[in-house]
Structure 1
Amino acid sequence: MADAKIKRLAQEIYKNVGGPSNVEKLIHCMTRVRMTIIDMDKVDMEALKNIDGVLGVVDDETLQVVIGPGTVNKVAQEMVDEVGVKLGEPFPENINENDHLTDKEMVEAKAAKVKAEQKAKQKQTPIKRILKSISNIFIPLIPAFVGAGLIGGVAAVLSNLLVAGDIGKGWNDFIMIMKVIQNGMFSYLAVYVGINSANEFGATPGLGGIIGAATLLPGVLPTAPLHNIFNGQALAAGQGGIIGVIFAVWILSLVEKKLHQWIPDSIDIIVTPTIALFVVGIFTIFLVMPVAGVISSSLVGAIEWVLNVGGAFSGFVLGALFLPMVMFGLHQILTPIHIEMINKTGMTPLLPILAMAGAGQVGAAIALWIRCHRNHKLTNMIKGALPVGILGIGEPLIYGVTLPLGKPFITACIGGGIGGAVIGGLGHIGAIAIGPSGVALIPLINNGHWLGYVFGLLAAYVGGFIATYFFGVPKDAMQSDTVDNGSIASKSDTVSSTTAAEETKITYVNDTITAPVDGKQVPVSEVSDPIMAKETMGKSVAIQPSEDSKVYAPVDGKVMFVADTSHAIGYTSDAGEEVLIHMGIDTVNLKGKYFNLSVKPGEKVSRGQVVGKVDWTEVAKAGYDTVTLAIITNSQDFSVDKSTDNVNVEKSTIIMKTTPAS
């Protein structure tokens, strides 16, 4: 739970900007809460500036409330948590009073909040970052998968009717048109994945598309094939599949970034893409395609073997475990596996089984609705989440209803396992494209097996209902609203408190701050940002960087934080100064582009040590002021002597001297 100061700041900011309903979306940088305001007439600027803890307010493209490093992230998180969205996501409408929310809006807001809390508890690991990247690559393609898949399914049904003589040959052209549309997605999927992978990994999208296209071996004739360097066999178009494309484009991103550093700017646009495509293209065709081909074929074969041998048992295990995988974000790895199975066998038998997990949630929710009918808040949320849950969108039910209550989440998983057992036991039930689950998946089930999928859905509904009705209803959830049970998520909202560690007293000593970048020192008062120009956050020195891209540590000490967008670093020196290096004005909007820092929080640094690089030329081309500020944010503890004689500065140039305040 946020401490009292954080909650107070969040509430007072909302109060003076016209409430959450007057905010379109909210993000933060290292020092400011940045809000997109709907109606500026509702904002009380003077009251906002006078809030205890607010250092200043800037009315620009966004309304920027300056709070300072260390606190701003907590306040911003508290503000979005109160609304039930994530940072940067659009705020829902009519959110000032929960009574004005529809059942659907209320459960979606609660689900978003619980989901954010669950993610916050999860430790970020390299594996989870990889899974997040996979998700970012495929989520934009989901509508295309659904649309092209449904069109292909209709084409298959019409083709069967044509063969059976139930429709005339006049349908031939119409069926062909639908197949052309379907193939427009699946035949060139490697290109789309290559472009999205390049966007995710920071490579040029067009180059990523070319690498994806290279795996299709355009122009290679069957009579004159390229050969696998490991076994001499002819390479097949698409060998290595989507997994190979993602890996190859990741390599492309590394090569391209290095080339951008090495190649002079005057010839970079010509030389870099040429070398990157040539080197990575050869690497992809002769190394990635053969190796990834073996991996993808083995993976598909292993899954088919498990389903064929395990049958109902395998179906139960997969159906029961899918929701925990969703909760921990591990389900993202399944998307490329589904695609590989569709490419190799024409369908994915995994998707119908895993879809049973959502059906178990539906059964559990219906049981809760009946048993907890006196709890109107809970039943209203269920009414809002059930329709979309039946259609295969399970997050409102998971994060808004069953997971916060605990027991129903487990019994819903059991229901999903029962449905999965039915699908696995019947066998040969697959989806011809990835997309939704629930009832909405029926049109994508491979021809002739949709009835088996419906039996699985019904089994999951019944299994989730029975398990929850008899074993999964918490007693406090059945209480009437007149008993103040707070929220259905009361269990997930409870945070254990810990005893604060005894603070280490800092003994301040005389010290010096050196330039964080090479360049020209300029008057702070001339900085374009009014808050920084007034030195609101502490004594500051401004430097206009030269073309040298290096960034240096200005103190001997420890890195305390690094902005997610890499445009700011915070240090605590061995002498006790808290020094913020803010690189550029409003460069948070670049989201890390052109910034490449090599240090992490907790690392020890030495004055003058290189801690990263910034492509100042590209930052300026993007329209941002590159002026870099060194700010002593606890300057009230020191007497600060700022250098005013320096014009040109470098890493060893002293820009500020400090003496402990008496």
Structure 2
Amino acid sequence: MAEDKYQVLAQQIYAHIGGPQNVSKIIHCMTRLRITLKDESQAETAGLKKVPGVLGVAEEDTYQVILGPGIVNKVAKEMVAQVGVELGQDFPDQLAKQSSNYAADKQAVTQKAAQVHAEHKAKLKQTWWRMALKHISSIFIPLIPAFVGAGLISGIAGILGNMQTAHLLGPEWSTIILTMKAIYGGLFIYLNIYVGINTATEFGATPGLGGIIGGLVYLPGVVAPSTLPNIFTGTALTAGSGGIIGILFSVWILAFVEKWFHKHIPDSVDIIFSPFLTLLVMGLFTIFLVMPAAGWISSSLVGSINWILNVGGAFSGFVLGLVFLPMVMLGLHQILTPIHLEMIKQLGNTPLLPILAMAGAGQVGAAIALWIKCRKNKQLINLIKGALPVGILGVGEPLIYGVSLPLGRPFVTACIGGGIGGAVISGIGHIGATSIGPSGVALIPLIANGKWFGYVLGLLAAYVGGFLITYFFGVPKSAMLAKNEAGELLETSDKTTTSTAAVKVKAATLTAPVSGKLEKLADVNDGVFSKKMVGDGFAVEPTEETIYSPITGTIVSVMDTKHAWTMKSENGLEILVHLGLDTVKLKGEPFSLDIQAGDQVIAGQQVGTMDLQKIAAANKAATVITVITNLDQVAALDLTQTKTIAGGAIAANIKLK
């Protein structure tokens, strides 16, 4: 098994450096382990170089074991996992008390290290938006089975309830419908609590405290005529204000507050005062700041909705269909209930509900587009299979939180699809619902005055609109990668989907990733690269800051410090691009990359920039290294004779085997 190989290699490295008790910290860059040793004299370098899988050893400011891209990260994770810490964390001092015979005392070392609580999680450096989507995915995906099960029950109960309201079913169905509502209400009525628990877990807080904050938004114990005041307006707070987004924000802040109290409160009373003070502070924060803020948004939104309704026509339908899902996430959709009821009272039906129902239909269309374009992603397809029938029945949470929102762009394109459906409904006009009930197909029995066909046309328009816009503009490249049911990338993910990907090309070229002076790899002032421990290639001393892709192919991985990435060409070459020497210590500050794993790039395409002044100020060399790591595919590599080269120009000609 692959895992056994990395585990064995990790143990062999430990055996040659004095065991984990001789290690202060382990980090890694794209090709090498960087190990901070407590006593370098215990390291047996000559023996370590002979270990299968070790490409070389460099002794600089840290002890560096060269393993190559794709292997180093797996071995590093195995090494820190064996002692119960995370990458970059200090090894526990207790390990120093263990026997120097690592192999004999491995179990004792592991047990001792497990006592050290590591709350820090290694996170990829990325944009705040991508990080937020990653957290949202982690929070809501565990709820997908519950969404699907309760959602189907909700959809069926909605259809039966609407049919009963339309006098298509008799009163004998009431008990069945009520029972089904009680079952699905176990999730949807108390959804805030589940979200609070999962959010706390995701951000390293106590799950129970997150659940309390989630339940707090319901204002439990505040029974009329008693109220809690909105400190900004003096009016009474409304239960539910803030919604899902309010919970996410409050519990995220709670994680920081709780960790601060744990850090500053003495251990002897920590179990008492940390949860007490955290809950008190965050309870006040949520009730008197988060909920009033949502209330202010609600008030503003009511005026906006009234204005949109007064404008009328397809424009109003488009805007309402577009913004409804964000309103649901903010918990602001509840403010529409009295509007619906007032319309039903005055007009006999609410024309607003069919328009807003189009938002869920846009999600359905987007999901179908994702199903077609991302069919190699088995994890995503399985989520869609479970959530799509529920979405058709008018329960949109599984599609929103499990599929479109975590991916980012599909959520936006789905909202646009909802706007298109809303425009059709509003454009046809005089389509209303006689009562409030589930949307989607389930709403058809409640459409007033025989206008159900117009409503169905709106549904179809939202389906088609969400599908087309998502299909052409809303599918992230990362979602199209081949993954198994567990979300793990398959080997075929590194291959391009073009017909030329499978063709064995006999010749290839590498272009310069930056403009500057072209050098042989042997002339680089770094033993790992100059001795070609990880492969052969070339270097460029940059004179400009723009970075280009050296080949046409697929990005395989990008270091969180942005100083290096790997890629695979159309003809199977595996390429490492390394920005600067020893720049891993700069923690990404001089680098800005516009690529991520799974992106397709072409040779000469701009992929980022590097700040040469910052690199120079840190006393680091800005040399850019381009290396072919699978030299078994290469028969010959010849550099061009040009001394000065422009970024994107051919730097090396390659003859393939």
- Scaled by the length of structure 1, the TM-score of the pair is 0.45
- Scaled by the length of structure 2, the TM-score of the pair is 0.45
